[in-house]
Amino acid sequence: MVMSPARSIAAFVLTGLASSWSVVSLHARAGEGDRPSDRAPAPAEARSLDAAMVVARVGPEVVLEADLLTPKAVEWLEQVGPGLPPEKVRELRLQICRQVIDQHIETLLVYVDACREIPEEKLPEIRTSVDKNFDEHQLPHMMKDAGVTNSLEFEQSLRKRGMSLDRMRKMFFERGLAQEWLRKNVGDDEDVPHADLIAWYQNHLADYEYPARARFEVLAVKMGPKRARAEAWDLLAAMGNEVLGGRPFAEVARERSEGPTAAQGGVFDWIDQGSLVSKKLDEALFSLPIGELSAIIEDGEVLSIVRVVERRAAGRTPFLKAQVGIRERLVAEHRESAANEYLNKLRARTPVWTVFDDPTGSAARPTFTAGRPTASPR
């Protein structure tokens, strides 16, 4: 069966969102849908007015403050807000918006481009398929998380926070369309020439070198004002003799050692050569035959006997083992570069404005920008 273009795009959108969509922002298209005047007022008038505040505009799309405040963010504000001055709560709301607005604008830039290129008569069919997917797969999880049993109760809980179910559906559609449109324009080719993999490996050999490593056991005795060096030496020598006589190292360590891992039988897990503060211990660990007790090592106020349990030589990860990671890295770098190039083209031809630019600017007079938008000059 051959799918229509609209159904094909809708299928891609649903595939891209089925497993990973979460409500991170909601926005309304200028002149459409859920405008501030269409929404039922929240219990607190000030909160409702804040939620309806226009904070950005991207081409024909407007972004309200409520669009940038996730349910989690709103819940957090409700928890910390009581007792704070209104201006402080307002400052916190704007801080949250500032943190997420750049990513939100990028999504809208791609969405606006998709709407510009996709035939207008195809969009309603795509939207219908995506809305159905939202209602069947996403909405039940959201209602469960919100602790409600039906969509009406969920709608009421959303409107108390300056949101609406229609706007959440719209967000699901817009984000999904933007994801797939970005993938279409950036591509998902994972073919990297073998020569490029080898060249990258050769140019980053140091990244694949690893030091010698060792696992070991320690018996330790501390010297000090109440214990002379000779006494400490005799105590440690007696411990070493017990191990040489056949008593388990761990048993001796737990009973008599004063080292930091005595309770664990004196065992130290893997350490890299050169990572220990004690140079004498480090030298012993990487020169002693495995399984043999060292002589007593004196370093500062501590006497130690060590035994190497296992050791691995220094080396370098071979290309055959490294090439999978190199391929993934080069593919990711290519996609990031292609995405940045595409987004820069969109920024150059799409007017953008935000309240975090020149405060004298206006949502009614956005300007073309190549980066973070600035208000139109007066």
Q: What is the pLDDT of residue 237?
A: 96
The answer on pLDDT for 144 being more than 50 is yes
Distance CA 63, CA 61 (A): 7
Under the banding of pLDDT at 50, 70 and 90, the label for residue 357 is confident
Answer whether residue 13 shows pLDDT above 80: no
Residue 220 confidence (pLDDT): 96
> What is the distance between the alpha carbons of residues 114 and 123, in angstroms, rounded to a whole number?
10
3-class DSSP assignment, residue 22:
coil
**Angle between the N-to-C axes of helices 319-349 and 165-186, in degrees from 0 to 180, rounded to the nearest 10:** 120
Q: Residues near 352 by Cβ (< 8 Å), separated by ≥ 6?
A: 56, 57, 58, 59, 105, 109, 366, 367, 368, 369, 373
315-321 contacts, C-beta under 8 A, 24 or more apart: 315/209, 315/210, 316/205, 316/208, 316/209, 316/210, 317/208, 317/210, 319/197, 319/198, 319/201
Which has more pLDDT, 77 or 245?
245
pTM for this predicted structure: 0.61
The letter for the amino acid at 198 is I
pLDDT at 353 over 70: yes
| Position 21 pLDDT exceeds 70 | no
Task: Say if residues 39 and 164 touch (Cβ distance below 8 Å).
Answer: yes
Query: Tell me, what amino acid is at 55?
Result: V
In terms of pLDDT, which residue wins out, 230 or 3?
230
Task: Look at residue 208 in the predicted model and tell me its pLDDT.
Answer: 96
pLDDT digits over 89-120, tens only?
888 988 999 999 999 999 999 999 999 999 98
Q: Quick one: pLDDT at residue 338?
A: 92
What is residue 68's three-state secondary structure? helix
Q: Is 250 exposed, middle or buried (0-12, 13-18, 19+ CB in 10 A)?
A: middle
Determine the pLDDT at residue 160. 77
Question: Does residue 52 register a pLDDT over 80?
Answer: no
Q: How far is CA 101 from the centre of its chain?
A: 17
For residues 19 and 13, the answer to whether their CB atoms sit within 8 Å is: no
What is the predicted pLDDT for the residue at 164?
Answer: 84
8-state DSSP, 81: -
> What is the model's pLDDT at position 33?
37
The chain-wide mean pLDDT, for the chain, equals 82
* Separation of CA 377 from chain center: 37
Does position 194 have pLDDT exceeding 70, yes or no?
yes
List the domains of the chain with CATH numbers.
Answer: 5-186 (no CATH), 212-313 (3.10.50.40)
Whole-angstrom Cα distance, residue 367 to residue 325? 42
The more confident residue out of 348 and 7 is: 348
Across the range 120-131, mean pLDDT stands at: 90
- Check whether 271 has a pLDDT greater than 70: yes
pLDDT mean over 154-162: 82
Lowest-confidence region among 41-55, 156-170, 200-214, 299-313: 41-55
Q: DSSP 3-state assignment of 299?
A: strand
User: Going along 158-264, which residue ranges are E strands?
Assistant: 209-210, 213-222
Q: Which residue has the higher pLDDT, 361 or 286?
A: 286
Tokens of 278: 């004690």
Q: Predicted confidence band at 359 (pLDDT cuts at 50, 70, 90)?
A: low
- Quick one: pLDDT band at residue 145, thresholds 50, 70, 90? confident
The DSSP secondary-structure symbol of 263 reads: G
- Strand extents, DSSP E, the chain: 28-29, 54-58, 61-64, 209-210, 213-222, 267-272, 297-299, 302-312, 315-316, 351-354, 367-368
Residue 370 burial class via C-beta count within 10 angstroms: exposed 0-12, middle 13-18, buried 19 and up: exposed
Q: What confidence score (pLDDT) does residue 358 get?
A: 60
Give the pLDDT band of residue 76 (cuts 50, 70, 90). Answer: confident
Residue with tokens 């959201």: 142
pLDDT higher than 50, residue 332: yes
Q: At what angle do helices 123-133 and 5-17 cross, to 10 degrees?
A: 30
Residue count of the chain: 378
Mean pLDDT of 52-73: 85
Q: Tell me the CA distances in angstroms from 109 to 176, 332, 352, 376, one per residue in order.
A: 13, 21, 9, 18
